[in-house]
Amino acid sequence: MDPANEEKQQLPEEPRFLDFPCLPDDAKDAHGRPALNKYSSTITRAHDFPGAQAMLYAAGVPDRETMQTAPHVGIASVWWEGNPCNMHLLDLAKIVKDAVQKQGMLGWQYNTIGVSDAITMGGEGMRFSLQSREIIADSIESVTCGQHHDACIALPGCDKNMPGAIMAFARHNRPSIMVYGGTIKVGYSKLLKKPINISTCYEALGAYAYDTLKNPDDPSQTKDDIMLDFEQNACPGAGACGGMYTANTMSTAIEAMGLTLPGSSSTPATEPAKMRECVKAAECMRICMEKNIRPRDLLTKKSFHNALVMMMVLGGSTNGVLHMLAMAGTAGVPLTLDDIQLVSDKIPFLADLAPSGRYYMADLYEIGGTPSLMKLLVAGGLLDGSILTVTGKTLAENIASYPSLPQDQVIIRPLSNPIKTTGHIEILKGNLAPGGAVAKITGKEGTRFTGRAMVFDKEAHLDVALNKGAIPRGDNLVLVVRYEGPKGGPGMPEQLKASAALMGAKLTNVALITDGRYSGASHGFIVGHIVPEAAAGGPLAVVQDGDEITIDAETNTLSMNVSDEDIAERLSRWKKPKMVVTRGTLAKYAHLVGDASHGAMTDLF
């Protein structure tokens, strides 16, 4: 070893995040109780920071005693208007703030940003979606640390909101609780007389393009009538997309990790129980502060295993893989694609939930919600009930008082009769994905697919072909969408518009692979997160029309029938395309982001 390198290896590790509490963990207040203002006391003690105290008095601190003794709790809502997932979070945050104040603490309400996947899907706005996760994490970390908050309660509603909040928790590592904004209620088609949801709209687009969107009970209704009906009735009010899409995938996973109150993930947004949860969160925040329960105490290998179990049992989104890797990487917990495959190999798929099933999160709530499901999984030895949670109790203690799932319910299959004996998430490798890829294979479409490549350099090009009805039926095709990875997109856009259109058009002869990603509402024979991405010179960049490609979930491979020598020769002639953006937030993201197999993190150092 080089002496300089040897000396460098022996240097003490620098701190990963800034963490300088003013008071030690065992500090007491004037009454001999644990001091809860460990961080805020930096600026509120004595007269060391008179300007800071002047600003805080102006912001609402009522008196000197409160200034010196009350802990400061940041209440971070991912609220904005124009998106049902998030439009109600300001009101929930106000309930949290009121409850925090009644606990003798100072509540400071603030906001961070969000981007709606459903609104941006299929357009250039989708490139801003994944990178919003990093901005959310940066925002919450910035306010928590910059304002010397002692704790944080975050209220996310949409999918990137939740991992963004948890990544911030892991960074500042101060007592923290997540309150999920809740799921939307099920929509209903007035014309077709059946439940619908946001995914219905995208699948209908494929049927619309291929002229198969009809009402069999009323042929007089046009396809435009039906599309308008779906658009006006799919989303009946506030709440996140109602199936086992990415938002509900992440909320159930995070609940299984102990970072929310029991039932948070399954309680619909507009239920009174969601408001009661907001009040209870303030009570549990005081417990966390008194017992010094911090996020990195809860973000452990065991809790991530629980999260992955929930994802497999419920048929969760492929985005869960991306977000789980990022949360673990931020918290310093070793988690790899291989770990995810090991869980998938052992855990059954039990839930008949959309997008591949018939029911929705609001339906699961009616039969006991996630606590009742967790009770089954703990009893069956699949979930670890011993992990600590934000209530100060173990997961098993949290769910002990909840009822078991009803005997006659049909949403969650018994452990003895699963939909699939193993998980639906498959990690694939091969000469097309040396660094890994993620497939969502429920088994309903089979476990192996071979077809000839039809290549598109951007998702928009495929969308144009689908809108024209130009993807033929007949021979098996593997549609290849490339240059849509974290760097190449940039932003790794979701491809629900394309995948849903394929389902709606009933193009069962088609599979879809990409270095981009998919919405949790996607289903079918789809593979995403291909690493290395095309923009980084991965083999995906040199796939040609007509190449034979095989997706095999039995051998966990993604390969093309091209020799290693031919791939190397093609790559030697490949030229990296110019970046499509060179300024602004997307350019910064493309410069900083890592690959999808490590969570597409910008926090890589």
Catalytic residue among 372, 519, 559, 597, which?
519
Spatial neighbors of 186 by CB under 8 A, at least 6 apart, are 195, 196, 197, 236, 242, 360, 362, 363
Q: Specify whether the CB–CB gap between 143 and 74 falls below 8 A.
A: yes
- If 0-12 CB within 10 Å is exposed, 13-18 middle and 19+ buried, where does residue 563 land? exposed
On whether the CB atoms of residues 382 and 347 are closer than 8 A, the answer is: yes
Q: Buried b vs exposed e over 143-180: b needs ≥16 C-beta within 10 Å?
A: bbbebbbbbbbbbbbbbbbbbbbbbbbbbbbbbbbbbb
Helix (H, G, I), strand (E, B) or coil at 124: helix
Q: How far is CA 82 from CA 116, 155, 239, 383, in A?
A: 9, 17, 12, 37
Q: Name the nearest CA neighbour of 373 among 409, 404, 329, 349.
A: 404
Find where tokens 């010196």 sit: 68
3-state secondary structure of 526: strand
DSSP string covering 184-220, please?
PPPEEETTTTEEE-HHHHHHHHHHHHTT----TT-TT
Nearest-angstrom CA–CA distance, 317 and 518 = 8
In angstroms, rounded to a whole number, what is the distance separating the alpha carbons of residues 109 and 73?
8
CA distance 137 to 157: 14
Phi, psi of 140 (to 5 degrees): -65, -40
Between CA 515 and CA 457 the distance in angstroms is: 11
The residue written with tokens 């518009």 in the block is 497
Partners of 552 in beta bridges: 448, 557
- Which tokens hold the place of 469? 């009805």
Examine the residue annotation and report whether 519 is marked as an active-site residue of this protein. yes
Integer Cα distance of 241 and 233 in angstroms? 13
Q: Report helix, strand or coil for 529.
A: strand
278-298: buried (b, 16+ CB within 10 Å) or exposed (e) per residue? bebbbebbbebbeeebbbebb
Q: Please identify every residue annotated as catalytic.
A: 519
